[in-house]
């Protein structure tokens, strides 16, 4: 591959999560899947022939940062999470006792009062452990705050959780009664 993996990954995220219509790509409502041949054709055009199907499949199998961001099933490809224009329906799962959400210090107090909301996304992203939540929160602040989500209790009281991959969970929202600052 003559295009860096990170650049290809960012383009696939843009294409499959946010701007499919800009490139004339049809994305299935409810599943988020697009035809792999069409995606390959768009990538070939955008990167002037420097990306092959093998490059796309290699990226799906192993992303540069170790996260599984995409999946291929039966000649169809999709982004696993983070969509802004396509609602992908995942099966509900029983979450672990606790999940975590990393955020900027200025947002933490508001979240504790009003709950976690998608803020323009379909789902709220929740980490399976504190280090991952700190990593995510680090995108918003140099000194991120981690909130603990009492996920098992929330699920027992009607909050649905989804798990598109092994590194994180999703919820449409989490009411404030299931959130607390991470104990010191």
d(CA 69, CA 9): 8
CA distances from 73 to 42, 65, 94, 95, 149 (A): 19, 22, 24, 25, 32
| pLDDT tens, position by position, 79-88 | 877 655 566 7
pLDDT-derived band at 62, boundaries 50, 70, 90: confident
Q: Assign 124 to helix, strand or coil.
A: strand
Q: What's the chain's average pLDDT?
A: 87
Q: Which residue has the higher pLDDT, 157 or 90?
A: 157
The answer to whether the beta carbons of residues 40 and 34 sit under 8 Å apart is no
Which secondary structure element, helix H or strand E, spans residue 68, and what is its range? none
d(CA 58, CA 78): 14
Which secondary structure element, helix H or strand E, spans residue 126, and what is its range? strand 124-127
Write down all domains in the chain, each with its CATH number in brackets. Answer: 5-79 (1.10.10.970), 92-181 (3.20.170.30)
Q: What is the mean pLDDT of residues 135-157?
A: 92
pLDDT attached to residue 138 = 85
Judged against a pLDDT cut of 80, whether residue 63 lies above it is answered with: no
d(CA 129, CA 110): 22
61 burial class (0-12, 13-18, 19+ CB within 10 angstroms)? exposed
Q: Which residue has the higher pLDDT, 133 or 3?
A: 133
pLDDT attached to residue 164 = 80
pLDDT-derived band at 2, boundaries 50, 70, 90: confident
CA distances from 81 to 21, 68, 88, 117, 143 (A): 18, 10, 8, 15, 25
């Amino acid at each position: 591959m003559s295009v860096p993996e990170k650049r290809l990954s960012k383009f696939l995220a843009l294409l499959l999560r946010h701007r499919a219509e800009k490139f004339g790509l049809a994305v299935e409502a409810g599943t988020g899947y697009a035809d792999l041949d069409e995606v390959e054709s768009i990538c070939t055009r955008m990167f002037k022939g420097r990306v092959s199907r093998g490059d796309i499949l290699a990226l799906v199998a192993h992303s540069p940062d170790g996260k599984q961001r995409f999946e291929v099933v039966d000649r169809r490809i999709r982004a696993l999470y983070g969509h802004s224009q396509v609602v992908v329906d995942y099966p509900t799962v029983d979450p672990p006792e606790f999940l975590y959400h990393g955020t900027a210090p200025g947002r933490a107090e508001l979240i504790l009062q009003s709950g976690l909301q998608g803020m323009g996304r379909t789902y709220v992203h929740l980490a399976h452990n504190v280090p991952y939540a700190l990593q995510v929160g680090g995108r918003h602040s140099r000194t991120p705050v981690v909130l603990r989500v009492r996920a098992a209790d929330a699920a027992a009281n009607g909050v649905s959780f989804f798990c598109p991959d092994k590194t994180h969970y999703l919820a449409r929202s989490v009411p404030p009664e299931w959130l607390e600052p991470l104990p010191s």
